[in-house]
Amino acid sequence: MRLRRRGGTAGTAGTAGDATTGTGTRARIVVVGGGPVGHRVAERLRHHGHEGPVTLLDAEPGPAYHRVLLPALLDGSLTPADLHLPDLNRLPGVPGMPDVTVRHGVSAAGIDRRRQEVRTTEHDRLPYDTLVLATGARPHLPPVPGLRHASGWLIDGVTGLRSRTDCARVRGEEIVVLGGGPLGVEAAAALRRAGRRVTLVHPGPYPLDDRLDAGAGEVLTRHLAGLGVGLELGRIAAEVRPGKLALDDEWLLPWDTLLCCTGVRPRTRLAEAAGLAVRSGVLVDAEGRTSDPAVRAVGDCAEPGGSLYDGWEQAERVARSLTGGSAPHGTAARRPVFRLRVPGLTLGVLGDGKGEAGDEIVTYRDAARGRYARISLDAEGRLRAAVVTGLPQALATLTQLYAADTPLPESRLALLLGRPAPRGGPLPELPPEAVVCRCNNVTKGALASAWEEGARTQEALVEATRATTGCGSCTDDIKVLCREFAEVGS
Amino acid sequence: MNRLLVIGNGMTAHRLVEELRSRDRGNRWRITVLGEEQHDAYNRIALTDRLRGVPEAKLTLRALDEDPMLEVRTSTRAAGIDRPAHEVVTAGGERIPYDALVLATGATPARPPLPGAEARGCHVYRTLDDVNAIREAAESGGDRTAVVVGGGLLGLETAEALHRHLRVRTHVVEAARHLMPTQLDGAAAELLATSLNETGIRLNEGKGLLSVETNRSGEATGITLTDETSIRADLVVFTAGTRPRDDLAADADLPRGDRGGYLVNEDCRTPDPAIWAIGDCAAIHGTRTGTAAPGYHMAATVAGHLLNTPEPPPPLSPAEPSTVLKLPGVDVASMGNPHAKPADAIELTYTHPAPTPRYAKLILDPEANTLQAAILLGHPTAYPRLHALIGQELPAPAEQLLT
- Residue among A194, A349, A345 at smallest CA distance from A259: A194
Is B318 part of any domain?
no
A411 vs B347, B351, B397: nearest CB: B397
- Cα torsion angle, A145, A149, A151, A152, sign: negative
Contact assignment for A361 to B350 by CB distance below 8 Å: yes
Same domain? For B192 and B287 the reply is: no
Q: What is the CATH number of the domain that holds B20?
A: 3.50.50.60
Partner-chain contact B324 A412, CB within 8 Å: no
* Residues B222, B189 within the same domain: yes
* Degrees, nearest 5: CA angle A346-A376-A304: 80
Domains in chain A with CATH codes: 7-138+265-322 (3.50.50.60), 158-262 (3.50.50.60), 346-417 (3.30.390.30), 435-489 (1.10.10.1100)
Q: What is the pLDDT of residues A267-315, one digit of tens each?
A: 999 999 999 999 999 999 988 999 999 999 999 999 887 666 678 888 8
Interface with chain A: mutation pick from B11, B14, B15, B45, highest number of A CBs within 10 Å: B45
Please indicate whether, in this complex, the C-beta atoms of A436 and B384 are within 8 angstroms of each other.
yes
Together in a domain, B328 and B344: yes
Mean pLDDT on A369-391: 94
Give A217-264 pLDDT, tens digit per residue.
999 999 999 999 999 999 999 999 989 999 999 899 999 999 999 999
Dihedral over Cα of B333, B337, B340, B342: its sign: negative
Q: Identify whether B396 is part of a domain.
A: yes
> Model confidence over A27-78: pLDDT tens digits?
999 999 999 999 999 999 998 889 899 999 999 987 889 888 899 999 988 8
Dihedral angle over CA of A58, A59, A61, A64, nearest 10: -40
Q: Are residues B301 and B339 in the same domain?
A: no
In a domain, B314, yes or no: no
A364 at the B interface (CB within 8 A)? yes
Query: What is the 3 state secondary structure string of chain A?
Result: CCCCCCHHHHHHHHHCCCCCCCCCCCCCEEEECCCHHHHHHHHHHHHCCCCCCEEEEECCCCCCECHHHCHHHHCCCCCHHHHECCCHHHCCCCCCCCCCEEEECCCEEEEECCCCEEEECCCCEEECCEEEECCCEEECCCCCCCCECCCCCECCCEECCCCHHHHHCCCCCEEEEECCCHHHHHHHHHHHHCCCEEEEEECCCCCCCCCCCHHHHHHHHHHHHHHCCEEEECCCEEEEECCEEEECCCCEEECCEEEECCCEEECCHHHHHCCCCECCCEECCCCCECCCCCEEECHHHEECCCCHHHHHHHHHHHHHHHCCCCCCCCCCCCCCEEECCECCECEEEECCCCCCCCCEEEEEEEHHHCEEEEEEECCCCEEEEEEEECCHHHHHHHHHHHHHCCECCCCHHHHHHCCCCCCCCCCCCCCCCCEEECCCCEEHHHHHHHHHCCCCCHHHHHHHHCCCCCCCCCHHHHHHHHHHHHHHHC
Residue of A nearest to B325 (CA): A473
Per-residue pLDDT reduced to its tens digit, A59-71 = 998 788 988 889 9
Per-residue pLDDT of chain B (403 residues; tens, 9 = 90+): 899 999 999 999 999 999 999 999 899 999 999 999 999 999 999 999 999 999 999 999 987 768 899 999 999 999 999 999 999 999 999 999 999 999 999 999 988 999 999 999 999 999 999 999 999 999 987 789 999 999 999 999 999 999 999 999 999 999 999 999 989 999 999 999 999 999 999 999 999 999 999 999 999 999 999 999 999 999 999 998 889 999 999 999 999 999 999 999 999 999 999 999 999 999 999 998 888 889 999 999 999 999 998 778 888 888 888 888 888 878 899 998 888 777 889 999 999 887 788 999 999 998 888 999 999 999 988 888 888 888 888 888 888 888 7
**Ramachandran category for residue A99: left, alpha or beta (phi over 0 → left; psi -120 to 50 → alpha):** beta
Residues spanned by the domain of B155: 122-238
pLDDT of residue A301: 94
| Per-residue buried b or exposed e for A311-350, using 16+ beta carbons within 10 Å of the residue's own CB | bbbbbbbbbbbbbbbeeeebebbebbbbebbbeebbbbbb
List, in sequence order, every residue forming a beta bridge with B71; answer none if it has no partner.
Answer: B32
Q: What is the pLDDT of residues A315-374, one digit of tens each?
A: 888 999 998 877 766 555 567 888 898 989 999 999 999 899 889 999 999 989 999 999
The predicted pLDDT at position A23 comes to 55
DSSP element (H, E) containing B19: helix B11-23
Q: Do B399 and A410 touch (CB under 8 A)?
A: yes
Residue B196 near residue B156 (C-beta atoms within 8 A): yes
Q: Do A471 and B401 touch (CB under 8 A)?
A: no
Confidence of residue A427 (pLDDT cuts 50, 70, 90): low
Give yes or no for B324 touching A (CB within 8 A).
yes
Interface of B with A in 36-65 (CB under 8 A): 43, 45-46, 61
CB contact under 8 A, B387 and A357: no
Q: Is the peptide bond before A63 cis (omega within 30 degrees of 0)?
A: yes
Q: Let me know if residue B380 belongs to a domain.
A: yes
A478 — pLDDT class (breaks 50, 70, 90) = confident
- Given a contact cutoff of 8 angstroms between Cβ atoms, the answer to whether A400 and B382 are in contact is no
Q: Which of B268, B265, B313, B311 is nearest to B104 (CA)?
A: B268
B140 and B215 both lie in a single domain: yes
* Whether residues B67 and B21 fall in one domain: yes
First to last CA, chain A: 64
Whole-angstrom distance, CA of residue A458 vs CA of residue A483: 9
Mark whether B210 and B266 lie in a shared domain.
Answer: no
CA of residue B111 relative to chain centroid, distance: 16
d(CA B157, CA B163): 10
Q: Is B161 helix (H, G, I), strand (E, B) or coil?
A: helix
Q: Which of residues 301-360 of A touch B (CB under 8 A)?
A: 357-360
The verdict on ipTM greater than 0.90 is: no
> Would B78 be classed as within a structural domain?
yes
Cβ-Cβ contacts under 8 Å, B43 against chain A: 469-470
Q: What pLDDT was estimated at residue A195? A: 95
Give the pLDDT confidence score for residue B170 in this predicted structure: 97
Interface of B with A in 273-292 (CB under 8 A): 291-292
B151 and B127: one domain? Answer: yes
Q: Is B287 helix (H, G, I), strand (E, B) or coil?
A: strand
Confirm whether B223 is domain-assigned. Answer: yes
Using DSSP, state whether B176 is helix, strand or coil.
Answer: coil
Candidates A368, A414, A471; nearest CB to B45: A471
Give the domain CATH number at B352.
3.30.390.30
Buried b (16+ CB within 10 A) or exposed e, A219-241: bbbebbeebebbbbbebebeebe
pLDDT of A413 above 80: yes
Tell whether B199 is covered by a domain. yes
Q: Are A273 and A110 in contact (CB under 8 A)?
A: yes
Strands (E), B83-193: 87-90, 95-97, 100-103, 107-109, 122-124, 145-149, 169-174
Residue A74: predicted pLDDT: 93
Helix, strand, coil shares of chain B, percent, nearest 5, are: 25, 30, 45
> Which of A:427-486 have CB within 8 Å of B?
427-428, 430-431, 433-436, 438-441, 443-444, 469-474, 476-477
Model confidence band, residue A8 (pLDDT cutoffs 50, 70, 90):
very low
| Residues on chain A touching B367 (C-beta within 8 angstroms) | none
Task: Identify all chain B residues contacting A431, using CB atoms and an 8 Å cutoff.
Answer: 388, 392
Is A51 in contact with A10 (CB distance < 8 Å)?
A: yes
Q: Name the least confident of A214-218, A484-488, B176-180.
A: A484-488
> Is the Cβ–Cβ distance between B195 and B330 less than 8 Å?
yes
Residues A89-116 pLDDT 10s: 887 666 778 889 999 999 999 999 999 9
B400–A444 CB contact, under 8 Å: no
Whole-number average pLDDT of chain A: 87
For residues A201 and A176, the answer to whether their CB atoms sit within 8 Å is: yes
Among all residues of chain A, which has the CA nearest to that of B359?
Answer: A361
Interface of A with B in 175-194 (CB under 8 A): none
Contacts of A442 in chain B (CB under 8 A): none
Q: Are the C-beta atoms of B163 and B195 separated by less than 8 Å?
A: no
Report yes or no: A271 and A105 within 8 Å, Cβ to Cβ.
no
Last residue of a domain, one of B208, B238, B268: B238
pLDDT value at residue A14: 37
Give the integer Cα–Cα distance in Å for B89 and B96: 6
Number of domains in chain B: 3
Q: Are residues B88 and B148 in the same domain?
A: no
Residues B375 and B332 in one domain: yes
Pick the more confident residue, B301 or A443. Answer: B301
Based on the fold, state whether residues B223 and B255 are members of the same structural domain. Answer: no
Distance from CA of A379 to the nearest CA of B (A): 10
Tell me if B230 is assigned to some domain: yes
Tell me the C-alpha distance between B70 and A284, whole Å. Answer: 93
Contact (CB<8Å) A434/B387: yes
Residue from the list A359, A368, A469 with its beta carbon closest to the beta carbon of B366: A368
Nearest C-alpha in A relative to B393: A422
Q: Which of B191, B385, B393, B403 to mutate to test the interface with A (most CBs of A within 10 A)?
A: B385
Quick check: B336 and B374 in contact, CB under 8 A?
A: yes
The answer on B232 and B168 residing in a single domain is yes
